[in-house]
Amino acid sequence: MVLGGGNRRGARASDPTFDHLSAYLETGCADRSDHEAVFLAAGPESRALFGAFVHDTRRGQAQGGVRHWQYASLEAFLRDGLRLAVGMGRKCALADLWWGGGKAIICPPEPPRSREERRTLFREFAEFVTSLRGVYITAEDAGTTPHDMEVIHRHTRFATCIPERVGGSGNPSTMTARGVVRAMQAALDHRSLGSLSGKQVAMQGAGNVGAFMIERLFEAGVDGVVASEIDEDRCTVLAERFPGHFLEIRHAQPGDNRILEEPCDILCANALGGVFDAKTVERIRASVVCGAANNPLEDERRDARRMRERGITYVPDYVANRMGIVACSNEQAGSLPRDRYIERHFDGPEGWKHSIYNTTREILERADCDVIATTEASESLADMRAREYHPIWGHRAREIIEALWQEGWANTRD
């Protein structure tokens, strides 16, 4: 099934059975933002629901990770995919990548019970991606592993973030962590708060990205890190990993957001989205909020504006956490040690104009100059860049979407 529209017309369902979904996307969903298409399918054996969400593809094919997650409702599934696709498009535009915004979700009726069931699930998803003929390029995201990406790559060419042993870029966690720390430095400079040296950091989520981030923060001289983590075994491992540094790891239950109230200089959210809402924003005791989580604000405008009113500098997620997609976006071009096309994203103020540092400073300065929330400043800049057409292929992905529609893509999924 395809639900498509984009800038030229309203949402359309490929089958009248799903007209209620197109109506919801057209009038009842605040997260729809001129998305060009939403593709939905069910796995023949796994019975999982697959979704590929395609936002603006003028800069190129839609690219973004696949989230393997379970949702309480179809509405939650759709809203998450729509929001994540928009964020990916803005991330690519601000990073000066020739890619559009995309995201995929795998929602199984229940978690795979065996290795074989998991392989079947990701094989079926890969076949779903292949059927889209390159409109969407998939990658690793929450709930997926490098091995899952290898399975996907065996069944579709439209995949990145594949393991190094088969020619990919591997796990991007260390790159993502390094990029978020660079954004923190830019925010501190903007506030004239000095360097990371001597600062206190509070962190929600200490998984792969969080652990690498802690390492980078200690290298930069922070005084201490207080982190919450839901994996009890990981808490134990991390507590022993950084001898000689002040690191407090608190085991937290899912939904426990008390770490967001911790007194600190920088608050870093690395878990899932929506943790900053009307209540939690009022309890923040930090000067800067900057983390790796996607969509950490429940409401992009309301919550960012309230942070501004409270004197908190918020760095939008897709400004800080770009390096996951940067590291794997152009794997087809080969790899180099300390690749200059990747390393330039870490440049300081005198370096590349689109680096994380310089982009963060530009957005924070725009927000202050126009007296608007940082999310409004970043959206304006990203959406302006997203309107640029791919220098070689133009709006080719949109043409593929229209061809899939005309050829009856939905009927081929039966």
pLDDT digits (tens, 9 = 90+) for 60-97: 999 999 999 999 999 999 999 999 999 999 999 999 99
* Token digits of residue 391: 């220098």
* Alpha carbon distance 403, 405 (integer Å): 5
> Any bridge partners for residue 67, and if so which?
105
Is 103 catalytic? The answer is: yes
| Catalytic-role residue among 103, 199, 279, 353 | 103
Per-residue confidence (pLDDT) for residue 2, from 0 to 100: 58
* Token digits of residue 112: 């795979």
* Alpha carbon distance 53, 88 (integer Å): 11
Query: Residue 98: CB partners within 8 Å, gap ≥ 6?
Result: 59, 60, 92, 390, 391
- In the predicted model, residues of the chain with pLDDT beneath 70 are 1-10, 15-18, 26-33, 412-414
* Alpha carbon distance 372, 359 (integer Å): 17
Question: CATH 3.40.50.720 residue ranges in the chain?
Answer: 173-384
Expressed in percent and rounded to 5, the helix, strand and coil fractions of the chain are 45, 15, 40
- Alpha-carbon distances of 94 from 118, 133, 333, rounded to whole Å: 35, 26, 21
* Alpha carbon distance 210, 227 (integer Å): 9
Choose among 359, 356, 358: nearest CA to 380. Answer: 359
Per-residue confidence (pLDDT) for residue 56, from 0 to 100: 94
- Give the angle subtended at the CA of 24 by the CAs of 23 and 29, to the nearest 5°: 135
Per-residue confidence (pLDDT) for residue 8, from 0 to 100: 47
Q: What is the pTM of this model?
A: 0.90
* Alpha carbon distance 360, 164 (integer Å): 30
* Alpha carbon distance 31, 11 (integer Å): 13
Counted residue by residue, the chain has a size of 414
* Half-sphere exposure (Cβ direction) of 272: Cα atoms closer than 13 Å: 11
| In contact, 268 and 204? CB cutoff 8 Å | yes
Neighbours of 123 (CB within 10 A): 18
Per-residue confidence (pLDDT) for residue 223, from 0 to 100: 97
CATH superfamily for 173-384 is NAD(P)-binding Rossmann-like Domain (3.40.50.720)
Neighbours of 8 (CB within 10 A): 9
Per-residue confidence (pLDDT) for residue 28, from 0 to 100: 59
Residue type, 249: I
Question: CATH 3.40.50.10860 residue ranges in the chain?
Answer: 2-170+394-412
> For 121-163, how does the pLDDT look when each residue is reduced to its tens digit (9 = 90+)?
999 999 999 999 999 999 998 889 889 999 999 999 999 999 8
Query: Residue 311: CB partners within 8 Å, gap ≥ 6?
Result: 287
* Alpha carbon distance 275, 273 (integer Å): 6
Q: Report domain 2-170+394-412's class.
A: alpha beta
Q: What single DSSP character describes residue 251?
A: E
* Token digits of residue 78: 């759709």
* Alpha carbon distance 354, 340 (integer Å): 13
